[in-house]
């Protein structure tokens, strides 16, 4: 926590994964079996190339999971499937026991409580930092409600709280397009926090960040886990080592190995295909 | 306690969003000020000053100004979807013309026995075509409230169906622009047919009175002009509220990063559909104000070139500002009036050159130029 800017509130969100969802009317996932995400037997091919090949993955409630794998292993495609961007050929994806992700659209999945941070930071460049956070904020996002929405005091407080967490308080009115690359990454993480997700999918969060920023990101992600389930895709092995409790190695669209960082690194197949031995 | 959280809209909150937006909107303040000014001056100079005087404003000029303001309202509607939501509509005059036809039908029914054939029910063109009774869609159009409802309902419904199909299939960009052109072109061809029952080639004209008042009376001309001024001001305020609300920010987010907006939980299609339908209705109102002033509506209004012209007005004035659309519509149409009278053969070249010039040298239009000038001084 020491690396965080002074005067910031507690890191993270106020909800517990098993608790009632705040400020959205989406149904809660049933987490009675303590598993928040089931991906089972998912296969997806593009023109004969199997991007995902019988992929199965289970994320426990409150877990921080790192997913590593060489380029083309299907990491981003897997996130596309979970967030509704791409539909798999076969297999299933469930959010808790009760929500079938394959039957939902992207906004519905987002409303259900899955937040995603993209590899390339995408913020709304012409909107101010404050407005970016406001747009991401968990709330009723139906057209008429939004047309007549007025920011409540506690929502404003929450935005300021997140601004503190991501260290952009002094850039509150800057257009997001004018931020540096690292600041955009942080803003996007802030948008993720505003969404109040139960499950965070974070794609390469520290790409292009300075060592200090990387350290802060690691602290933030670790502090989020427990209250939230976090899935991180990352190339930076030092970063993965610093945060990971459990690592999944993907290879050619399939899970190659799973376990602690040490177990995974000593796994013979992993050494063979990924660590280049 | 729960009640206060679920309470619907509290009017003061919405008023304060609009008020705050207008306080920051210099262009809008100037526009509303000018509208107030012409709203006072034009009737005064037209009705209050004797005809021989140098200060007298002819009724022709009043009608011409009224026409410009109708175009300005149409331009605002286009700017709302194009400037703020990134939907480049090349078919917005379809909605404009439909609104015009709706009011035109009412005006036709008011002619009654004063028509050439003197039929109390059937408009002249139907008698001419040997039709024996009024088609179902002309029923009740002699009542102003129904006609006024159709002015927004017909363009709104067409936009709803069109938009639902297009946005649901995620048609965007130039493809969407092309199908909006196709839409207005299809309507052009359809309305040319006599069988459609809208007067075919000739359209609807020879109107006598609106709400029982003779359309040719100078007072009526002024009344129509003032109505246009009021609707333009209201349309501007409505659009300003929309773009200043959180809805407006979502719509601009869609314009800048559509996929991202989806992933933070907004149903992009619903947002596009809503603003598209609203814009179409606004265009319909503009058309309805236009027709009684110019005295005719014919299928020519559906011509694809007209819709492209509207886009040029917005581009020249300054896209994504709302007041820029008004500036562009008035400026370009004033130029059009001048050129088509003085040098009719070069008008289209001049228009094309203007568009190229605006795109290359005035990416933010005329108002962008003014803004940077005043910004540099300050």
Give the tens place of pLDDT for each residue, B273-309: 999 999 999 999 999 999 999 999 999 999 999 999 9
pLDDT digits (tens, 9 = 90+) for A16-49: 444 445 445 566 787 878 889 999 999 999 888 8
- Number of domains chain A contains: 1
**What's the CATH number where A199 sits?**
3.40.50.300
ipTM of this model?
0.85
Say which residue, B94 or B377, is predicted with more confidence: B94
In a domain, A259, yes or no: yes
Taking a contact as any Cβ pair under 8 Å apart, which residues of chain B between 5 and 24 contact chain A? 8-10, 13-14, 17
Residue ranges of the domains in chain B?
Answer: 24-377
> Cβ atoms within 10 A of the Cβ of B233, count?
18
Picking from A257, A228, A227, A263, the residue whose alpha carbon sits closest to that of residue A245 is: A263
Nearest C-alpha of chain B: how many angstroms from A122?
A: 7
Q: DSSP character for B245? A: S
For A212, how many CA atoms within 13 A lie in the half-sphere containing its CB? 6
Q: Point out the residue among A122, A142, A150 whose CB comes nearest to the CB of B257.
A: A122
A273 Cβ contact partners less than 8 Å away, ≥ 6 residues apart? A70, A251, A256
Instruction: Please state, in angstroms and rounded to a whole number, the distance separating the CA atoms of residues A120 and A184.
Output: 10
| Domain membership flag for residue A2 | no
Q: Cβ of B339 under 8 Å from any chain A Cβ? A: no
Q: Are A87 and A172 in contact (CB under 8 A)?
A: no
Q: Which residue has the higher pLDDT, A206 or B65?
A: B65
pTM of the model: 0.89
The per-residue pLDDT for A7 is 35
| Range of the structural domain that residue A116 is part of | 35-273
Name the minimum distance, in Å, from the CA of B271 to any CA of chain A. 6
Query: For residues A10 and A1, what is the distance between their CA atoms, to the nearest angstrom?
Result: 9
Distance between CA atoms of B103 and B142, rounded to whole angstroms? 10
Q: Which chain A residue has the Cα nearest residue B273?
A: A143
Is A20 in a helix, a strand, or coil?
coil
Report DSSP letters for B38-69, one per residue: HHHHHHIIIIIS-TTSTT---HHHHHHHHHHH
In this predicted structure, the answer to whether residue B353 has a pLDDT above a threshold of 80 is: yes
CB-based contact B252 A124, cutoff 8 Å: yes
Q: Is residue A3 part of a domain?
A: no
The alpha-carbon gap from A16 to the nearest alpha carbon of chain B, in Å, equals 20
Closest chain A CA to residue B275: A143
**Average pLDDT for residues B140-152, to the nearest whole number?**
95
Rounded Cα gap, residues A134 and B22, in angstroms: 21
> Minimal CA–CA distance to A60: which of A100, A101, A11, A18?
A18
The token pair that represents A143 in the structure block: 């057209």
Give me the residue label for tokens 């987010």: B253
Q: A141: distance to nearest CA of chain B, Å?
A: 6
Which of B240, B249, B265, B268 is the best substitution to test chain A (most A C-beta atoms within 10 A)? B265
Taking Cα atoms as reference points, which of B160, B343, B307, B323 lies closest to residue B240? B323
Residue B2 is predicted with a pLDDT of 42
User: Is B252's CB within 8 Å of A122's CB?
Assistant: no
pLDDT tops 70 at residue B1: no
B324 pLDDT tier (thresholds 50, 70, 90): very high
**Residues B253-274: what's their mean pLDDT?**
94
Cα A2 to the chain's mean position, in Å?
23
Averaged pLDDT of chain B: 90
Quick check: B113 pLDDT over 90?
no
Q: Distance between CA atoms of A31 and A46, rounded to whole angstroms?
A: 33
Give contacts of B268 with chain A, Cβ < 8 Å. 107
Q: How crowded is residue B49: how many other Cβ atoms within 10 Å of its Cβ?
A: 13
Structure confidence at residue B6 as a pLDDT band (50, 70, 90): very low
Higher pLDDT, B359 or B143: B143
Size of interface A-B (CB pairs under 8 A): 89
- Is there a domain that residue A17 lies in? no
Cα gap B58→B55, rounded to integer Å: 10
Is A11 inside a domain boundary? no
B146 touches chain A (CB under 8 A): no
Nearest by CB to residue A124, choosing from B242, B247, B253, is B253
CA distances from B282 to A242, B157, B250, B291 (A): 57, 13, 20, 15
Q: For residue A72, is it within any domain?
A: yes
Cβ-based contacts of B267 with chain A (< 8 Å): 105, 107, 141-143
End-to-end CA distance of chain B: 49
pLDDT tens sequence across B212-261: 899 888 889 999 999 999 999 999 999 999 999 999 999 999 999 998 99
Q: Which residue of A has its CA nearest to B270?
A: A143
Does B250 reach chain A within 8 Å, measured CB to CB? yes
The answer to whether B63 contacts chain A (CB < 8 Å) is no
| CB spacing of A110 vs B257 below 8 angstroms | no
With beta carbons less than 8 A apart as the criterion, state whether A206 and A234 touch: yes
- Contact call for A110 and B245, based on CB within 8 A: no
In a domain, A185, yes or no: yes
Going by pLDDT thresholds of 50, 70 and 90, the confidence category of residue B65 is very high
Residue with tokens 């910031």: A8
Give the sign of the dihedral formed by CA B202, CA B289, CA B163, CA B165: negative
Please list the ranges in chain A whose pLDDT falls under 50.
1-20, 22-23
Q: What is the pLDDT of residue A223?
A: 85
pLDDT for A13 equals 41
Separation of CA A106 from chain center = 14
Question: Chain A contact for B286, CB < 8 A?
Answer: no
Kindly give, in sequence order, each residue whose CB lies less than 8 Å from that of residue A55, ignoring residues fewer than 6 positions away.
Answer: A39, A41, A42, A43, A74, A78, A91, A250, A253, A254, A255
Helix extents (H) in chain B: 2-6, 11-24, 26-43, 59-83, 92-111, 124-128, 144-168, 173-192, 218-244, 246-256, 258-263, 268-294, 304-317, 323-342, 347-361, 365-377
User: How are strands ordered across the β-sheet holding A229-233?
Assistant: A114-117, A199-203, A229-233, A64-68, A246-251, A254-259
Is A26 contained in some domain? no
Locate the chain B residue with the closest alpha carbon to A150: B13
B70-93 mean pLDDT? 96
- Judging contacts by C-beta atoms under 8 Å, the chain A residues touching residue B245 are 146-149
Chain B CB contacts of A125 below 8 Å: 256-257
């Amino acid at each position: 926590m020491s690396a965080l800017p002074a005067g910031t509130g507690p890191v993270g969100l106020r909800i517990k994964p098993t608790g009632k969802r705040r400020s959205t009317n989406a149904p809660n996932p049933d987490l009675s079996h303590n598993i928040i995400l089931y991906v089972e037997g998912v296969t997806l091919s593009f023109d004969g190339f199997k991007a995902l090949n019988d992929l199965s993955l289970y994320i426990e409630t409150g877990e921080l999971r790192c997913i590593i794998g060489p380029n083309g292993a299907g990491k981003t495609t897997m996130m596309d499937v979970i967030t509704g961007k791409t539909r798999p050929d076969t297999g299933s994806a469930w959010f808790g026991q009760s929500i079938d992700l394959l039957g939902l659209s992207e906004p519905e999945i987002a409303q259900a409580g899955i937040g995603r941070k993209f590899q390339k930071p995408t913020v709304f460049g012409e909107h101010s930092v404050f407005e970016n956070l406001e747009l991401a904020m968990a709330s009723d996002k139906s057209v008429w409600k939004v047309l007549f929405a007025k920011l409540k005091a506690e929502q404003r407080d929450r935005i300021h709280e997140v601004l503190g967490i991501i260290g952009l308080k002094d850039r509150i009115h800057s257009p997001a397009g004018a931020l540096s690359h690292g600041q955009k990454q942080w803003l996007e993480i802030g948008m993720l926090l505003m969404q109040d997700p139960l499950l965070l999918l974070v794609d390469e969060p520290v790409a292009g960040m300075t060592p200090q920023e990387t350290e802060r990101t690691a602290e933030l992600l670790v502090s989020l886990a427990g209250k939230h389930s976090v899935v991180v895709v990352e190339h930076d092995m030092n970063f993965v080592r610093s945060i990971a409790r459990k690592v999944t190695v993907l290879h050619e669209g399939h899970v190659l190995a799973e376990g602690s960082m040490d177990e995974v690194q000593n796994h013979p197949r992993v050494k063979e295909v990924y660590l280049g031995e | 306690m729960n009640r206060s959280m679920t309470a619907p809209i509290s009017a003061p909150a919405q008023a304060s969003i609009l008020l705050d937006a207008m306080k920051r909107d210099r262009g809008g303040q100037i526009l509303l000020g000018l509208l107030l000014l012409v709203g006072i001056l034009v009737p005064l100079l037209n009705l209050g000053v004797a005809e021989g005087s140098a200060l007298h404003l002819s009724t022709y000029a009043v009608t011409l100004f009224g026409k410009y303001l109708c175009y300005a309202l149409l331009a605002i509607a286009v700017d709302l979807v194009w400037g703020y939501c990134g939907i480049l509509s090349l078919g917005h005059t379809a909605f404009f013309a439909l609104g015009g036809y709706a009011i035109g039908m009412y005006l036709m029914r008011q002619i009654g026995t004063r028509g050439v054939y003197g039929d109390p029910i059937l408009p002249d063109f139907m008698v001419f075509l040997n039709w024996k009774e009024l088609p179902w869609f002309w029923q009740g159009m002699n009542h102003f409230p129904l006609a006024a409802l159709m002015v927004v309902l017909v363009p709104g419904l067409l936009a709803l169906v069109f938009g639902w199909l297009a946005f649901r299939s995620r048609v965007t960009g130039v493809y969407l622009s092309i199908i909006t052109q196709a839409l207005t072109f299809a309507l052009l061809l359809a309305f040319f047919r006599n069988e459609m029952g809208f007067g075919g080639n000739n359209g609807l004209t020879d109107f006598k009175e609106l709400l029982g008042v003779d359309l040719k009376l100078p007072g009526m001309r002024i009344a129509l002009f003032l109505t246009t001024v009021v609707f333009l001001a209201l349309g501007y305020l409505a659009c300003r509220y929309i773009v200043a609300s959180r809805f407006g920010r979502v719509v601009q987010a869609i314009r800048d990063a559509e996929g991202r907006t989806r992933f933070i939980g907004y149903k992009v299609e619903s947002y596009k559909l809503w603003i598209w339908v609203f814009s179409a209705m606004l265009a319909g109102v503009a058309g309805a104000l236009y027709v009684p002033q110019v005295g005719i509506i014919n299928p020519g209004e559906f011509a694809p070139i007209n819709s492209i012209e509207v886009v040029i007005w917005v581009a020249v004035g300054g896209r994504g500002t709302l007041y820029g659309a008004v500036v562009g519509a008035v400026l370009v149409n004033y130029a059009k009036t001048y050129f088509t009278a003085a040098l009719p053969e070069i008008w289209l070249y001049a228009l094309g050159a203007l568009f190229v010039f605006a795109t290359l040298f005035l990416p933010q239009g005329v108002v962008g130029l003014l803004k940077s000038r005043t910004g540099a001084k300050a």
